[in-house]
Every structure is written in C-alpha cells, then in structure tokens.
Amino acid sequence: EAGVAQSPRYKIIEKRQSVAFWCNPISGHATLYWYQQILGQGPKLLIQFQNNGVVDDSQLPKDRFSAERLKGVDSTLKIQPAKLEDSAVYLCASSGAYQETQYFGPGTRLLVL
Amino acid sequence: SQKIEQNSEALNIQEGKTATLTCNYTNYSPAYLQWYRQDPGRGPVFLLLIRENEKEKRKERLKVTFDTTLKQSLFHITASQPADSATYLCASYTDKLIFGTGTRLQVFP
C-alpha cells in the first residue's frame, strides 16, 4: 500500500513570496490533515478535511494560508504572502473513515528568508 | 487551553534497559492518547493508542499506561536497542489531536 505522498520535499523562498504544497493521501482515506511542525515542537493541526469538506480550520491563519481538497482526494496548502515565522515542516496526514490512526507523509520543509 | 507536556527533552539509556517516557495533560479529559515515533526528516509513525477507560496496552516491546487520576501516560520500551533511537511524540485527542513537543531517545550500545 502506497503511503501519503507530498511534494516538494524542500522549498526555500523569500518573505512575501507565495508557496504551495501538494499532498496525495492513501487511496480511499476520507480524512486529510495538514499540520505545521516548527523545529523542536510537535505537529500543530492547521486544517482537517472530511472528503472535500472542511471539518476544522480553527488554527489556520486564514489571512495568509488557504487549503483546498478538490474531488476529495489530493489537497494543496498555500501560503501567500509568506513570513519568516512560517519556516517549518508542513506535514500531511490521512486516515480512513472512523479510524483514529493517522498516517503521515514525509513533510515539506519550508525555509523563508 | 488544552496542553500536553512531555517532561524530558532528551533521554539517554544503555542498550538492553527499559526506556520510560512521560506525558502529562491538564484541565481536560482526552478520549484517548496516542504515541508516535518520528525519525529525522520523516513524518510521525503511529505506535499505540490507549483509551480513557484502559489502564495499559502492549505491543511487542512497547507498553503504554494511562492514569486519568494523575492525568499522565507512561510509554515504555523494554530491552531497548540502538534502532529505537528517535523522537517519541505523545498526542491527546478530544476534538483534534494535540501533540506534545516530543522526547528524543538515544539508546547507546
């Protein structure tokens, strides 16, 4: 079974630029999550999708972050404009319906200069 | 606000010994706790889940306990090996998973 795929793996941008991350969850998984993990901290949930609907985006900085999951499969997370404090690893995870286990992708490491 | 704390940033132990990691939460009652392993440059990998009505769970060399009175979970790795060296994350669930900052375990020969 293929795992959660994310791209790119690394991205370096300057502040005020925009960036987008892509996630392909495990086939058949209805729930998709985006987390932000700052160095030395645990992952923090940014947004949770159930199929293509948003379940929780309470911790998403909506003035600069946006996410979508068209057709309930792949998802993209965008930051526009980026700030220095957005430097972090962005993790995508997925889980099956009624499953508590989350399967994480390798993450995208973002550095904002 | 809901917080979960892992007491040790780092833990160094000798191969063959039991590693014990601690996770504490305050002011709320999680439905369950999860433990994940994270290696450098990789995403977390699920290890164990324990529900609020369970006292102990085991999986091979891993054991987790959940004490709702102390608001604490302990994670044990018995007969530890250098390959167990990684960061271990505790997470609590109410309406979302909230992760601790992790404990970096180093097992030396």
CB contact under 8 A, B42 and A107: yes
**Residue ranges of B 34-93 with Cβ closer than 8 A to chain A:** 34, 41-46, 49, 89, 91, 93
What is the nearest CA distance from A92 to chain B, expressed in angstroms? Answer: 9
In whole angstroms, give the CA distance from residue B108 to residue B17: 10
| A87: containing domain | 5-112
Task: Using CB atoms, pick whichever of A102, A105, A106 lies closest to residue B97.
Answer: A102
Report yes or no: B31 and B93 within 8 Å, Cβ to Cβ. Answer: yes
CB contact under 8 A, A106 and B43: yes
- Chain segment B44-102, per-residue pLDDT in tens: 999 999 999 999 999 999 999 999 999 999 999 999 999 999 999 999 999 899 999 99
Task: Using CB atoms, pick whichever of A4, A100, A105 lies closest to residue B49.
Answer: A100
Number of structural domains chain A divides into: 1
CB contact under 8 A, A42 and B34: no
- Chain segment B24-42, per-residue pLDDT in tens: 998 899 999 999 999 999 9
In whole angstroms, give the CA distance from residue A113 to residue A111: 6
Edge-to-edge strand list for the sheet holding B72-77: B3-6, B19-26, B72-77, B62-67, B56-59
- Chain segment A54-105, per-residue pLDDT in tens: 999 999 999 999 999 988 899 999 999 999 999 999 999 999 977 899 999 9
- Residue B97: its chain A contacts at CB < 8 A? 45, 102
Residues 6+ apart with CB under 8 A from A22: A6, A7, A74, A75, A76
Task: Using CB atoms, pick whichever of B32, B43, B102 lies closest to residue A104.
Answer: B43
Instruction: Determine which helix (DSSP H) or strand (DSSP E) holds B107, and give its type and residue range.
Output: strand B103-108
Supply the pLDDT for residue A71: 86
- Confidence band of B2 (pLDDT split at 50, 70, 90): confident
- Confidence band of B7 (pLDDT split at 50, 70, 90): confident
Supply the pLDDT for residue A98: 75
Supply the pLDDT for residue A1: 65
Q: What CATH class is the domain B3-108?
A: mainly beta
Residue A22 predicted with pLDDT over 80? yes
Domain ranges in chain B are: 3-108
Supply the pLDDT for residue A61: 96
Choose from A102, A109, A110 for mutation: most chain B CBs within 10 A.
Answer: A102
CB contact under 8 A, A101 and B46: yes
Supply the pLDDT for residue B9: 84
CATH number of the domain that residue A37 is part of? 2.60.40.10
- Residue A88: its chain B contacts at CB < 8 A? none
What is the nearest CA distance from A63 to chain B, expressed in angstroms? Answer: 22
